[in-house]
Structures are given as structure tokens and as C-alpha cells.
A = this chain, B = another copy of it.
């Protein structure tokens, strides 16, 4: 399997920009000045799509924007006004790079829901968990170091690893998440080929984009494999509290506190526009994270930390998350029903929480090539290719049910079905020639439908 053979994807990250990369070198007079790492900066397929997909006539099943309509805006407005009026001189002033002490204590209560016993000192508040990701990559990744991730994996993580010129090796998942045996093989093969594996980056719960959850019985095995191979685990868990049955899963961090860096976020459970996330890290790593934060932004925004803190202190935030969960479950159900009804010939994962369904399309269809036609037909999705660094993923796409209404979701899937049907018909007419597909890569997610 391409994904489990430990073969290292030598993407664009390691390549220096050369004049040959551009049609006209005079377009960028600074071309010869950039650092080597800058060559790894590419607009992600998903983000490049946002502008088009945001037109009102298009049903966007592409983005990962949480639905905020259930937020109690009036109450929040009063709380924020009170913070500025009464504590404005604090809220509008610089604060420590570490994060506000009260908020760090409250974050310990949040992660306790997943079985983590954390000390507030070991929490570092970040500008969204994306910044946590970026700082972890910065601290650990030398150019050429290998980061193992699930295949597919979160676009923003792949971007951060590329920004520090790390190489990504994708490891197989099935419907129970990351496959331990595949991880073992990948780590062994990377080492045998002379690579230094620094990190396992994993999204154990309600995976983005795959929609699957790492089985509880695999968790101890995964952390044990990493410990034995001297690989630090980066556990990215933005969706952990959004399980549709209300249950949480034991965090990897709870199983091996000294070898797991945990990334958390209030973006999916409260408000992404505040950009408040956190890293929970072993002490020595945490100290370096605080220093790296100073260098990156001096400190996270004070007002925003106080808004989150007030929300956690003065509001039934767990009840609020329960309302969100219900909304997402309703949307997930609408999407699954529509998929059953409209999308014969495809298979997909069934998420128990989070935002995403991962779809495998019929052979001969290239989801990247198809995307412009889908948008023209009024529906946007994220092509599977954006979630991998090895060029595969053309037989997959990610559908998000987090933002649109159930009606729009149904309509979007209906439109997608029609575009797919035309494509399959065409494929049959032209004998299934697909210039973009990579043979032998099918994502290995156990199909449903």
C-alpha cells in the first residue's frame, strides 16, 4: 500500500524556489531572497476554493465553519460590555505569553472531561489551536524530519509541517481510526531508510477529514508504539466534546502525559472568531512553547481570553455544547439520509461526532478535476487530494455538514449526485480514462452504504 510503506513524500517543501517555477521571473522581484522554507507555502486547494464556494447560490459542503446560530449573542454582548467597562485596563493591555491563569485553570476542567489530569502551569494559551500546531512544528521539526500523520489528514497541519520543511508520511486508517500495525510498519521503514521521525500527528476523535474515531482499545497501543520508537505524539482534538451520544473518549494525553502534546480549541465548541486555543504539554516542552509564543505574537489577545473565561465561569457551557451537538447530529443525519438517497455507487464513513463525512467515489472519477463542474452546478466540496501530500486522494472528497441547514445539505448532496452521475456516464462513454487518478489508492476506510 502506498500509504503504509513508509515511503517519504518529498513534496514541494524541500525544494528551493527557482526561476523555472514561474512563467515570468519578473513577476516577483524578491524571488531570490526568500528562505528555502518559503517554497513550501502553497495556497491550499480548500482555501483557494472558499471565495467561489461562498457565493450564496452555491451550497458549500466544503468549509469547516462551525454553526454559530445557537450562540446566546445578547448575553455574550452584555458579558463583553461588562469586561471592557469594568476590566478594560486589563482586557486591553498586554498580558503574559503563557495565558491568563484563570483561563488556564478552567481549561484543566475542560480537559478533565476526557480523563486528563492537568496542571494549569502546563497549559499554554494560543491564538487558535492552529498556532499551537505551528509552534509545535517550529520547536521540533528540522528540515527533512519526518512527521507521521493519518492519511488523509488535516490541511492546516500539513501546511504547518511544510512551513518547517518536514516530510509527511501518511499512515492507513480504517473505520476504527489509525491502524496500529500500519503505524509500526511506517515507523520501522522510515528509520530503516535513514529518516528521523519526530512526531505522530493524530486527530483521534471525529477525524478531519475522515470522520472516524480511534477505537478506545487502540489508544494505549498507539502511545506505546510511539514511546518505543521515541516519537512524540501530537494529539489534535478540536471535536472531542462533539460526540453525538454525549460521551467522551479517553485522551491519548491521559494515557501517557509525558509523551503527548495535546492541542485544544474553543473554535468548535464556542467561537472561532476569538481565536482561543491551547496546548497542554509536558513541562519542558511547555516552557519552550511560552518562549516561542513571545517570539510569535508576544501574547494571545487578552480580551479574548477574558471573554472565554467569563463564558466558562458564568454560563452553562456544557449545556451549550449539548445544544451544538444536537444541531450537528441533525445535520449529520440529513447528510447521511441524502447520501443514501442520492449517491448510489459511492461509499462513505459514518461519523459519531464532529463535522465531516469522507466519501469514496466510483472508479474513474477524479474529485479534483470534477470540482469546478460541481461548483458550476451549485455545490462545493473539498477534494481528497488536499488532505494528502503524496498526490493521491483523487477518489475521495470531504463533505462538511457543520454549517448549512439540513435543507441546504439535502439540496447540496442532490446536486453533487447529479454532477457525479454525469461524470460516471462520461467515464463509461470514454472508457474510464482518468488522467488524474492514482491507481491503488482508495483510502482504506471501510465503506458504508
Which residues of chain A from 49 to 97 have any CB-CB distance to chain B below 8 Å in the complex?
Answer: 50, 65-66, 68-69, 71, 73-74, 76-78, 80-82, 84-85, 88-97
Residues B298 and A301 in contact, CB atoms below 8 Å apart: no
Residues A271 and B92 in contact, CB atoms below 8 Å apart: yes
Please tell me which stretch of A108-116, A125-133, A374-382, A429-437 contacts chain B, meaning at least 4 of its Cβ atoms lie within 8 angstroms of it: A125-133
Residues A41 and B288 in contact, CB atoms below 8 Å apart: yes
CA distance A141 to B35 in the complex (A): 5
CA distance A309 to B69 in the complex (A): 24
CB of A174 within 8 Å of the partner chain: no
CA distance A304 to B362 in the complex (A): 45
Point out the residues of chain B lying under 8 angstroms from A130, CB to CB: 295-298
| Chain B proximity mask over A118-151: 1 for CB below 8 Å, otherwise 0 | 0000000001101100100011111001000000
Residues B76 and A298 in contact, CB atoms below 8 Å apart: no
Residues B77 and A84 in contact, CB atoms below 8 Å apart: yes
A124 shortest CB reach to chain B, Å: 13
Residues A273 and B164 in contact, CB atoms below 8 Å apart: no
Given contacts A38-B139, A91-B273, A163-B138, contact A258 B29 (CB under 8 A): yes
A341 shortest CB reach to chain B, Å: 30
Residues B35 and A138 in contact, CB atoms below 8 Å apart: yes
Which residues of chain A from 292 to 336 have any CB-CB distance to chain B below 8 Å in the complex?
Answer: 292, 294-304
CA distance A81 to B127 in the complex (A): 22
Residues A73 and B84 in contact, CB atoms below 8 Å apart: yes
Residues B44 and A71 in contact, CB atoms below 8 Å apart: no
**Nearest-neighbor residue (CB-CB) of A284 within chain B:** B28
CB of A219 within 8 Å of the partner chain: no
Residues B131 and A297 in contact, CB atoms below 8 Å apart: yes
**Nearest-neighbor residue (CB-CB) of A127 within chain B:** B297
Given contacts A68-B89, A140-B34, A141-B35, contact A41 B273 (CB under 8 A): no
Point out the residues of chain B lying under 8 angstroms from A300, CB to CB: 127, 275
CA distance A93 to B54 in the complex (A): 14
CA distance A81 to B78 in the complex (A): 6
CB of A274 within 8 Å of the partner chain: yes
CB of A424 within 8 Å of the partner chain: no
CA distance A90 to B91 in the complex (A): 21
Interface SS of chain A: helix
**Nearest-neighbor residue (CB-CB) of A281 within chain B:** B30
Residues B30 and A285 in contact, CB atoms below 8 Å apart: yes
Partner of A291, one of B41, B128, B297, B299: B41
**Nearest-neighbor residue (CB-CB) of A230 within chain B:** B33
Which of A66, A94, A141, A288 has the most chain B CB within a 10 Å cutoff?
Answer: A94
Point out the residues of chain B lying under 8 angstroms from A156, CB to CB: 294-295, 298
Partner of A138, one of B37, B159, B162, B275: B37
Residues B92 and A68 in contact, CB atoms below 8 Å apart: yes
CB of A447 within 8 Å of the partner chain: no
Residues B92 and A84 in contact, CB atoms below 8 Å apart: no
CA distance A309 to B282 in the complex (A): 39
29 contacts between A and B (CB under 8 A): A27-B284, A28-B284, A33-B198, A34-B139, A38-B139, A41-B291, A41-B292, A65-B93, A71-B89, A74-B85, A77-B84, A92-B272, A93-B272, A94-B272, A95-B273, A127-B300, A128-B298, A130-B297, A130-B298, A131-B297, A134-B295, A159-B295, A160-B295, A162-B295, A273-B301, A274-B301, A275-B301, A301-B301, A304-B304
Q: Which 6 A-B pairs have the closest CB atoms?
A: A273-B302, A28-B284, A81-B81, A92-B271, A77-B85, A73-B88
16 more CB-based (< 8 A) A-B contacts, given A35-B139, A275-B298: A29-B284, A30-B284, A34-B288, A38-B138, A41-B291, A47-B97, A92-B273, A92-B274, A127-B127, A130-B295, A273-B301, A274-B303, A275-B300, A301-B301, A301-B304, A303-B304
